[in-house]
Copies of this chain bind each other. A is one copy, B any other.
Amino acid sequence: MNRKVAVVGAGSWGTALGVLLAEKGMNVSLWARREECVREINEQRSNSHYLPDIVIPENITATGDLEAAVKDKEMLVLAVPSQAVRQVLRQMAPVLGDQLAVINTAKGLEMETGLRLSQVMMEELPGPLKQRVAVLSGPSHAEEVSRHLPTAVVATALEKQVAEQVQDLFMAPSFRVYTHSDLTGVELGGALKNIIALCTGISDGLGYGDNTKAALMTRGLAEMARLGVAMGAELMTFAGLAGMGDLVVTCTSMYSRNRRAGIQLGQGKKMPQILKDMGMVVEGVKTTRVAYRLSRDKGVEMPITEEAHQVIYEEQNPREGVANLMLRDKTEEWR
């Protein structure tokens, strides 16, 4: 297969996916926002800020011109932060036409609207492309994918045929892609898991152990699934790679910015300072706000998300947050 592909966004994940596709022999057009990043990729074959130690293959060409990057490409891969998806699509829409698939890889919900990103895409993409929206998700740290460590993810789309094209596009010996039929569930799994990653980070920052973390992850996945089902997702999706799998990897790895931000919260640092020092987007912070609002709207009980919201936005002491969770009335596990 030798598709003409554009990857929009040259952060860690966009770069890693671009490298993966280039190694499969494709010519990849990679859009980067910052001019010095474009230059570094094209001239030095590296992207040192986001993916140090990786050599960028010659068949990747970086550009700062979004329209030129995506024009006449068969497959588009979006790898920009969640809150930038709408704006980037709006900007590229005029030159889009008969793409086979527009694949989002960001994990979040739109802050103002609470929409899933595929819904944002359908609002912004021109006519026939609305039906060719796809999502790639699952437990996949960019750093590890670029080092060819075995990884398994899911591809989903409105139409099965599109999901299968995405599967074919990315499938590689160390990168196993399963198709999945539940677009809503896959997107919510990827977005909501960042809230729980923040919370397990807080727990780690407070000095709690693996037991605490496992309990937060398990009960966290349960409340993710509750909200998901209320929003039309299938329960089983949350037990899969885009749910549990992504949750596990995000909660246990130091690569996760959400977890690292949580650790600092647990150690007593304040949120605005943490975000300033990290200098990268921490998706879970905004997702917590959106999910908290959604849980209220839908009447879904989400005790962990609620405590996270209090800690992030109301300056609640995180140790009290954990105590609140531990001291609820005794009960059955699945009620």
By a beta-carbon cutoff of 8 Å, the part of chain A in contact with chain B is 138-141, 143-145, 147, 149-152, 154, 167, 171, 173-174, 176-181, 203, 208-215, 217-219, 221-222, 225, 236, 238-241, 244-246, 248-249, 252-253, 255, 322, 326-327, 330-334
Given contacts A145-B211, A219-B241, 7 further A-B contacts (CB under 8 A): A149-B209, A167-B330, A178-B333, A180-B332, A214-B248, A218-B248, A239-B239
Complex Cα spacing A142 to B307, Å: 27
29 cross-chain CB contacts under 8 A? A138-B215, A139-B218, A140-B211, A141-B209, A141-B211, A147-B209, A149-B208, A150-B203, A150-B208, A150-B322, A151-B212, A151-B215, A171-B330, A176-B330, A178-B331, A178-B333, A179-B332, A211-B249, A214-B241, A214-B248, A215-B245, A217-B244, A217-B248, A218-B240, A219-B241, A225-B239, A238-B239, A239-B239, A240-B333
Chain B residues within 8 Å of A249, by CB? 210-211, 213-214
Complex Cα spacing A178 to B215, Å: 11
Complex Cα spacing A213 to B174, Å: 13
Whether A241 lies near B215 (C-beta < 8 A) is yes
From B144, B218, B236, B322, give the contact of A211 (CB < 8 A): B144
Whether B141 lies near A252 (C-beta < 8 A) is no
From B174, B180, B252, B334, give the contact of A210 (CB < 8 A): B252
Complex Cα spacing A59 to B162, Å: 66
From B139, B211, B225, give the contact of A150 (CB < 8 A): B211
- In the complex formed, the residue of B with least CB distance to A240 is B333
Whether B215 lies near A149 (C-beta < 8 A) is no
Contacts A150-B215, A208-B150, A249-B211: A333 and B141 contacting too (C-beta < 8 A)? no
Chain B residues within 8 Å of A177, by CB? 330
Lowest 3 CB-CB distances: which A-B pairs, in order?
A139-B214, A218-B245, A152-B215
CB distance from A203 to the nearest CB of B (A): 8
CB distance from A223 to the nearest CB of B (A): 12
- In the complex formed, the residue of B with least CB distance to A144 is B209
Complex Cα spacing A332 to B218, Å: 24
CB distance from A136 to the nearest CB of B (A): 13
Chain B residues within 8 Å of A332, by CB? 178-181
- In the complex formed, the residue of B with least CB distance to A140 is B211
Chain B residues within 8 Å of A322, by CB? 150
Chain B residues within 8 Å of A154, by CB? 333
CB distance from A124 to the nearest CB of B (A): 28
Complex Cα spacing A213 to B238, Å: 17
Contacts A209-B141, A327-B173: A214 and B178 contacting too (C-beta < 8 A)? no
